[in-house]
Amino acid sequence: MSTQVKAGLEDVVAGTSDICFVDGEKGRLVYQGYDINELVGKASFEEVVYLLWHGKLPNQAELDALKAELQKYRDIPTDVLDLVRSLVNNPAKPTGMEVLRTAASYIGAVDPDKGMDRETHLKQATKLIALSASITAAVGRFMKGLDYVAPRQDLGHAANFLYMLNGQQPDELSVEAFDVALILHADHELNASTFAGRVTVATLSDLYSGVTSAIGALKGPLHGGANEDVLRMLMEIDSVEKTAEEVQKRLENGVKVPGFGHRVYRNYDPRGLVLKRYAKELTAKAGNTKWFEMTEITEDVVLKYFEKKGKDLKYNVDLYSGSLYNAMGIPVELFTPIFVMSRMSGWTAHFLEQYANNRIIRPRAEYTGPVDLEFVPIQERE
Ligand SMILES: CC(=O)SCCNC(=O)CCNC(=O)[C@H](O)C(C)(C)COP(=O)(O)OP(=O)(O)OC[C@H]1O[C@@H](n2cnc3c(N)ncnc32)[C@H](O)[C@@H]1OP(=O)(O)O
Ligand SMILES: O=C([O-])CC(=O)C(=O)O
């Protein structure tokens, strides 16, 4: 048994996978053999979902079949919709991620098909991709006191989400940018949420339990939750002129600035570059460049600070998604749920891979506590 402890399992190789390759030195991300830059602008999110699940791009008939299945599950069943509405209206004010985590668990509990075969898992995964989008849109509407908008069957996944959220036909650039954002967030090897979910399904627990674990892990501010924190920080500063000074202050006070740093990328995060490009274009088109400008200033200040400190940290996928989503009329509370909508494809691809070649995941800990303590009766304890 190796006794070398790696804090945070840094650089520990915990298994093999065909799904996703992250080259942290070169700033490269590859899904099932395709560099993301080869997919962006050519493939739709639905094609990428198929690719992640099946290891090849779909032909037309396969894509049509997947789209039809996604459309079939789009409308939220009444009991799920009631649950979502009651959670959003609960005085405890659960976050979008808490609502999604609860809804995913509920959908699993009431799914009568408890099969553990690949076909059933694919059906469950398709249902979860469709419903996580519809539920995210419904949460956005209920949070504003608006009614549920039923899905349209003539729209693609990205366009239908924006339609269900805003109640109107989205413009072409928003649909394209949102579809690209979904593609870019789809998978990322053994990130914390995927690992958490793989650990769960590796006990041969069900796919819904894996997804519920993964949503819980993605929610944290060190992982998916950072995308909301970026815009929240900018909203707190709320001034283009004050951004540089305020961000510098945070760094000097030892505060971690959300949207920067990554366990694997050392050069740059290739997704961030694409999102920045779309954020620039869309915010200019929307006539509201404030958050984008503030994000660019933040990038400049943080990177200079890291450089001076000799740290090879760069901005990550979460930095520019905020100004991008904001320009599409998406409220900040939905940013991490949108991450779920996308990463659901990668999580479920990993779960399929885990089920197909399973061994329970059970590492060891190096024990650092005492041994041989003697029991003291309660009356004699201090
Ligand atoms: C989709 C995703 O999950 S992408 C990541 C999203 N998360 C964020 O944006 C939150 C901010 N970033 C972070 O907290 C980290 O960079 C993580 C969690 C992404 C990676 O964590 P780790 O690999 O464990 O790196 P760690 O936190 O040890 O950072 C290394 C050093 O850089 C510093 N650092 C890392 N990120 C940041 C940051 N965003 N701002 C300021 N300093 C930072 C750390 O303080 C640490 O400094 P030290 O060596 O002087 O103690
Ligand atoms: O890979 C990671 O550690 C974090 C993650 O999920 C991503 O960057 O998309």
| Per-residue pLDDT, 362 | 97
Q: What is the pLDDT of residues 315-356, one digit of tens each?
A: 999 999 999 999 999 999 999 999 999 999 999 999 999 999
The pLDDT of residue 285: 95
DSSP 35: E
201, pLDDT greater than 90:
yes
| pLDDT range class, residue 3, cuts 50, 70, 90 | confident
End-to-end, the C-alpha distance of the chain in Å comes to 39
Q: Among the atoms of ligand 2, which is closest to the Cα of residue 189? A: 1
The model's confidence at residue 96, banded by pLDDT at 50, 70 and 90, is: very high
Longest alpha-carbon distance in the chain:
76
> Helices in the chain by DSSP H: which ranges?
36-39, 45-54, 60-73, 78-88, 96-110, 118-143, 157-166, 172-184, 192-201, 207-218, 226-237, 243-252, 270-286, 290-308, 321-327, 335-356
Tens-digit pLDDT profile for residues 27-78: 999 999 999 999 999 999 999 999 999 999 999 999 999 999 999 999 999 9
Q: CA 341 to CA 324: how far, in whole Å?
A: 16
Mutate to test the pocket of ligand 1, among 256, 299, 315, 338 (most ligand atoms within 8 A of CB): 256
Tokens of 269: 């995060």
The partner residues of 23 in beta bridges, in order of sequence, read: 28
Whether ligand 2 lies within 6 angstroms of the CB of 263 is answered as yes
The order of strands in the sheet holding 28-31 is: 20-23, 28-31, 34-35
Q: Is 67 in the pocket of ligand 2 (CB under 6 A)?
A: no
- Pull the structure tokens for residue 91: 């005085």
Q: How far apart are CA 6 and CA 129, in angstroms?
A: 34
For the chain, the average pLDDT equals: 97
Residues in the chain: 382
Please give the positions annotated as active site: 262, 318
Go through the domains of the chain in sequence order and give each one's CATH number: 16-220+332-356 (1.10.580.10), 226-327 (1.10.230.10)
Measured in angstroms, how far is the CA atom of residue 256 from the centroid of ligand 1? 7
Is the CB of 188 within 6 Å of ligand 2?
Answer: yes
Q: In the numeric block, which tokens belong to residue 38?
A: 């080869």
pLDDT digits (tens, 9 = 90+) for 21-37: 999 999 999 999 999 99
Task: With a cut of 80, say whether residue 382 has pLDDT above it.
Answer: yes
Average pLDDT over residues 159-176: 97
pLDDT at 1: 73
Residue 186 confidence (pLDDT): 98
Residue the block writes with tokens 């509405």 = 85
